[in-house]
A and B are shown apart, each in its own frame.
Chain A
């Protein structure tokens, strides 16, 4: 990805963080959710590909934390499940 444009640095793209297995489990437990209930994000998504280059290999079934600036609540956090496609 060297020299290429990194989408994550664009001001309109919210922060994406890759969660470890442990972190993901804890968050799911806190939210009382199972993985299949999470919103999804494709592994081919430009953000996930950029994340793959930065924080190591991203695989199907991993959870990504997305922090975005929100018009209504200041900062909002959401989670997405990486899926095939």
Chain B
């Protein structure tokens, strides 16, 4: 049933204690017996399952309110305790109150002026915008001050020291205070003094912290379950209440029969134990109450606390309907803002359509199709119809026609997903806002969710078994909001660094490279193959005619998808960083010039269309809007894939083949390096090594050796690199930024190099040596983890072992990093979740107090910024002065500063466990699938 109309705002919530009177007043029945059911299986009156406490069995009616199972909320009962008992949750407060008030007259142990002064300070704190925590510190100070007094300023009584024997025993100079005595003392505290101690006497009295009656939660809160065998199994809370009732009964009988003081006291303490564990079964200092099986009972506090508790798992997080989860797979033919939904899922997920006169015919038609419309073409059916009276009718093949007939304006028809519906798509861990984006539905055959590869980076998804979630929006407002704020194209630029997170990866980049590099040209057939998947493009005129054959240029084809007035100049990924840049005349074709939407020179690669670095994507989404950028991404995907398929592309182990001559050269270099290291070690042994400033002799030696070995690996890489040219597939991928780096290649073809743990050469294992294969104290290169072989040539057993040591460190590091940063992020989110930027640009919390006067101190939205800067000065100079401006503007050089994303071509990096070198940014992660 929809409750409509009135919405009310909660202006304040006040917490106070429950007085014994209130407990009795709200009680439906008094509980006196510990028995629950009689022999016939009926609940016993005034027992813990009394029918006045609510109903859990279907068909029965509540004896208090007369309602049925799901309508009756349940009612509290109560237990009158034979003797008062301390409430564990209030022990701290009771201690504070006892210590800061007089033992005989009950007044606060402060003079009138002192108390007034503390009150004044507290009011001042409140006036200056202090929160409850701030005011609590003031009252705490007042209580501490009072507790330090030894005589009462009002009646002159000498105060005795009160200590707390955890968890619930109070002692006065060693003499035990019974809860009854404690209660009497608390009763004596006058109302006026309570205010100074931070209590509001209008709603709570301190003596209520000592329980004289105990509320019994409704049976709906602690339902018993009937096992298959017919036995009943009670809830933990019921078990605990049975314990309380039993001891309470015995205590009352013994007390009334005049049993010895000692026995009564023992029983009293036992009652205290049961009441304490009833509230919190993990109270320190007492053993937890256990079930017959030995499992600790789950009592009230355990129900609320922790990750599986009521707060974190039922209130902060909820399970939802209209959602789906399945494995993901790629589909480059989809637009970036689409998601392919399997038919099976589309038939379960529904969108509620409110029937009006205008859509009546459509709604009826859809309803008549039923839950599984026949036919080869997918058509949306209807699972449920909700009538105007709120009744929900399930549609089956049988009743479809009749129900459809009855559909009229005001009904709600829950129809299946259709192409074009807006849904939310999500991959965990949801670490940034791009982890949940709005996509348009495309209903497709088969069983997986499919999406364009360009949205892999924001979700951090791959297809090795990853699963993703999909949520169907249920209201018009939600759809509108998602469409404006959450669509994929609105998230091409990331707020993390003002650059694109959505863009080409892997083959997409290679394809663009192959299409545009140097004077690539294609025959008519090839050109058509490249263009056929990209709709809306007109065939241009052929660029050249050679030997009677017409050819189209790759750059010419790529220009087709660029906006007609685009002007850009930048250096591409393959740029060699020559000392003097020849600009347009670059022999590597790495100086990209785009004039009037024509690619005049340069190669399109990672720097142009790659995720994180794509300059064209950046410029398009900033200057031409998200929709143009989306279209460009879609078209460039298709054209790049067309190009790579026409040419063909593969890589294999023979891409790392180098001539024997080169192998010998590398061997020589390795031998020389080994000798050089031996030389250094020799010099060190003879004491001839010159110490470096700020380093010990041993450290100097290590630095020198690392330098030599680092250089040796580079030399090996260079020698290998001489034979790995741009015609090599692996090199193409590394250079254009599609996958892998030149370092990875030189380790495959040249030499792997030094392995390190904690940035130092390997040294631990055996006494003074790494492995028993070496002499003790051997400081040579092989003995300390230098690998002169390449991945291709294969490692020696010791080298393999050292490589594993370095690899292990990497694994441990990632494991430690993810868990630590996950917790860090949780804390950050909890601290920042309710801050928002107000209309005046200030950041405020829900109380309206200022966090920042101006958002980020400069009021800049990082998403709209240019790599964090408010304006891109160079871009403005270029657009005003045209090509002349290039002299002034520092064209390029800055590239996209993607924080934390750098080439890993650093020396001394310990070997990555896999060649998988993510341009990674996220703290979380961990492999899935």
Which residues of the partner chain A approach B127 to less than 8 Å between Cβ atoms? 35-36
Q: From the candidates A32, A34, A38, A39, name the one contacting B840 in the complex (CB within 8 A).
A: A32
State whether B129 touches A61 (Cβ < 8 A).
no
State whether B840 touches A36 (Cβ < 8 A).
no
Q: From the candidates B128, B138, B857, name the one contacting A81 in the complex (CB within 8 A).
A: B128
Q: Does A31 belong to the interface (CB within 8 Å)? A: yes
State whether A72 touches B860 (Cβ < 8 A).
yes
Q: From the candidates A32, A60, A70, A77, name the one contacting B124 in the complex (CB within 8 A).
A: A60
State whether B124 touches A73 (Cβ < 8 A).
no
Task: Tell me the complex Cα distance, A33–B844, Å.
Answer: 12
State whether A83 touches B858 (Cβ < 8 A).
no
State whether A85 touches B137 (Cβ < 8 A).
yes
Q: Most chain-B CB neighbours within 10 Å: which of A31, A36, A72?
A: A72
Give B871 Cβ to nearest chain A Cβ, in Å.
13
Task: Tell me the complex Cα distance, A76–B849, Å.
Answer: 19
State whether B851 touches A83 (Cβ < 8 A).
no
Q: Does A16 belong to the interface (CB within 8 Å)? A: no
Give A70 Cβ to nearest chain B Cβ, in Å.
5
**Given contact pairs A84-B121, A85-B137, A78 touches B853 in the complex (Cβ within 8 A):** yes
Task: Tell me the complex Cα distance, A83–B122, Å.
Answer: 11
Give B72 Cβ to nearest chain A Cβ, in Å.
46
Q: Does B693 belong to the interface (CB within 8 Å)? A: no
Q: Does B462 belong to the interface (CB within 8 Å)? A: no
Main DSSP-derived SS at the B contact region: mixed
Which residues of the partner chain B approach A78 to less than 8 Å between Cβ atoms? 852-853
Give A36 Cβ to nearest chain B Cβ, in Å.
3
Which residues of the partner chain A approach B852 to less than 8 Å between Cβ atoms? 78
Scan residues 143-167 of chain B and give those whose CB is less than 8 A from a CB of chain A.
Answer: none
Q: Does B854 belong to the interface (CB within 8 Å)? A: yes
Q: Does B130 belong to the interface (CB within 8 Å)? A: yes
CB-based nearest A residue for B849: A37
**Given contact pairs A37-B850, A78-B853, A73 touches B858 in the complex (Cβ within 8 A):** yes
Q: From the candidates B129, B848, B856, B868, name the one contacting A35 in the complex (CB within 8 A).
A: B129
Give B859 Cβ to nearest chain A Cβ, in Å.
8
Give B666 Cβ to nearest chain A Cβ, in Å.
46
Q: From the candidates A33, A79, A83, name the one contacting B130 in the complex (CB within 8 A).
A: A83
Give A80 Cβ to nearest chain B Cβ, in Å.
10
Q: Does A40 belong to the interface (CB within 8 Å)? A: yes
Q: Mark A49-76, 1 if CB is under 8 A from B, else 0.
A: 0000000000011000000001011001
Q: Mark B99-133, 1 if CB is under 8 A from A, else 0.
A: 00000000000000000000001001101111000
**Given contact pairs A35-B129, A36-B849, A40-B129, A84 touches B854 in the complex (Cβ within 8 A):** no
State whether B128 touches A61 (Cβ < 8 A).
yes
Q: From the candidates A32, A38, A70, A84, name the one contacting B129 in the complex (CB within 8 A).
A: A38
Scan residues 16-51 of chain A and give those whose CB is less than 8 A from a CB of chain B.
Answer: 31-40
**Given contact pairs A73-B858, A84-B121, A85-B137, A35 touches B128 in the complex (Cβ within 8 A):** yes
Q: Does B187 belong to the interface (CB within 8 Å)? A: no
Q: Does B184 belong to the interface (CB within 8 Å)? A: no
CB-based nearest B residue for A70: B857
State whether B840 touches A76 (Cβ < 8 A).
no
State whether B128 touches A36 (Cβ < 8 A).
yes
Give A33 Cβ to nearest chain B Cβ, in Å.
7
Q: Does B134 belong to the interface (CB within 8 Å)? A: yes
CB-based nearest B residue for A35: B128
Task: Tell me the complex Cα distance, A72–B124, Å.
Answer: 36
Task: Tell me the complex Cα distance, A43–B857, Å.
Answer: 25
State whether A39 touches B849 (Cβ < 8 A).
yes
State whether A81 touches B129 (Cβ < 8 A).
yes
Give A85 Cβ to nearest chain B Cβ, in Å.
7
CB-based nearest A residue for B857: A76
**Given contact pairs A32-B840, A72-B858, A83-B130, A37 touches B848 in the complex (Cβ within 8 A):** yes
Which residues of the partner chain B approach A31 to less than 8 Å between Cβ atoms? 853
**Given contact pairs A32-B840, A84-B121, A85-B137, A73 touches B857 in the complex (Cβ within 8 A):** yes
Which residues of the partner chain A approach B121 to less than 8 Å between Cβ atoms? 84
State whether A61 touches B857 (Cβ < 8 A).
no
State whether A38 touches B849 (Cβ < 8 A).
yes
State whether B124 touches A39 (Cβ < 8 A).
no
Which residues of the partner chain B approach A38 to less than 8 Å between Cβ atoms? 129, 849-850
State whether A39 touches B128 (Cβ < 8 A).
no
Task: Tell me the complex Cα distance, A70–B853, Å.
Answer: 13
Q: Most chain-A CB neighbours within 10 Å: which of B124, B854, B857?
A: B857
Task: Tell me the complex Cα distance, A79–B842, Å.
Answer: 13
CB-based nearest A residue for B859: A73
CB-based nearest B residue for A78: B853
Q: From the candidates A34, A35, A61, A70, name the one contacting B858 in the complex (CB within 8 A).
A: A70
Which residues of the partner chain B approach A72 to less than 8 Å between Cβ atoms? 856-858, 860, 868
Task: Tell me the complex Cα distance, A82–B848, Å.
Answer: 18
Which residues of the partner chain B approach A61 to less than 8 Å between Cβ atoms? 124, 128
Give B533 Cβ to nearest chain A Cβ, in Å.
44
Give A9 Cβ to nearest chain B Cβ, in Å.
23
Which residues of the partner chain B approach A39 to less than 8 Å between Cβ atoms? 849-851
Task: Tell me the complex Cα distance, A70–B854, Å.
Answer: 12
Task: Tell me the complex Cα distance, A35–B858, Å.
Answer: 23
Which residues of the partner chain A approach B858 to less than 8 Å between Cβ atoms? 70, 72-73, 76
Which residues of the partner chain B approach A32 to less than 8 Å between Cβ atoms? 840
Which residues of the partner chain A approach B125 to less than 8 Å between Cβ atoms? 83-84
Which residues of the partner chain A approach B853 to less than 8 Å between Cβ atoms? 31, 77-79
Which residues of the partner chain B approach A84 to less than 8 Å between Cβ atoms? 121, 124-125, 138
State whether B124 touches A37 (Cβ < 8 A).
no
CB-based nearest A residue for B125: A84
Which residues of the partner chain A approach B857 to less than 8 Å between Cβ atoms? 70, 72-73, 76
Task: Tell me the complex Cα distance, A81–B124, Å.
Answer: 13
Task: Tell me the complex Cα distance, A27–B121, Å.
Answer: 25
**Given contact pairs A61-B124, A85-B137, A37 touches B856 in the complex (Cβ within 8 A):** no
Give B739 Cβ to nearest chain A Cβ, in Å.
34
State whether B134 touches A83 (Cβ < 8 A).
yes
Which residues of the partner chain B approach A40 to less than 8 Å between Cβ atoms? 128-130
Task: Tell me the complex Cα distance, A81–B137, Å.
Answer: 18
Task: Tell me the complex Cα distance, A74–B848, Å.
Answer: 27
Task: Tell me the complex Cα distance, A77–B842, Å.
Answer: 13
Which residues of the partner chain B approach A83 to less than 8 Å between Cβ atoms? 125, 128, 130, 134
Give B851 Cβ to nearest chain A Cβ, in Å.
7
Which residues of the partner chain A approach B134 to less than 8 Å between Cβ atoms? 83, 85
Task: Tell me the complex Cα distance, A32–B840, Å.
Answer: 10
Task: Tell me the complex Cα distance, A76–B855, Å.
Answer: 11
Give B862 Cβ to nearest chain A Cβ, in Å.
9
Task: Tell me the complex Cα distance, A67–B137, Å.
Answer: 30
Which residues of the partner chain A approach B137 to less than 8 Å between Cβ atoms? 85
Give B140 Cβ to nearest chain A Cβ, in Å.
12
Q: Most chain-B CB neighbours within 10 Å: which of A34, A37, A78, A85?
A: A37
Which residues of the partner chain A approach B128 to less than 8 Å between Cβ atoms? 35-36, 40, 60-61, 81, 83
Scan residues 834-877 of chain B and give those whose CB is less than 8 A from a CB of chain A.
Answer: 840, 844, 848-854, 856-858, 860, 868
Task: Tell me the complex Cα distance, A81–B134, Å.
Answer: 14
Give B129 Cβ to nearest chain A Cβ, in Å.
3
Task: Tell me the complex Cα distance, A76–B859, Å.
Answer: 11
Which residues of the partner chain A approach B130 to less than 8 Å between Cβ atoms? 36, 40, 83
CB-based nearest B residue for A39: B850
Task: Tell me the complex Cα distance, A60–B128, Å.
Answer: 9
For the complex of A and B, the 9 pairs showing the least CB-CB separation, nearest first, are A36-B129, A73-B858, A76-B857, A72-B858, A70-B857, A73-B857, A37-B849, A72-B857, A36-B128
12 additional A-B pairs beyond A40-B129, A84-B125, beta carbons within 8 Å, are: A36-B127, A37-B849, A37-B850, A38-B849, A40-B130, A73-B854, A73-B856, A77-B853, A83-B125, A83-B130, A84-B124, A85-B137
14 A–B contacts from the bound complex (CB under 8 Å): A34-B129, A36-B127, A36-B128, A36-B849, A37-B129, A37-B849, A39-B850, A60-B124, A73-B854, A73-B857, A76-B858, A79-B853, A81-B128, A83-B134
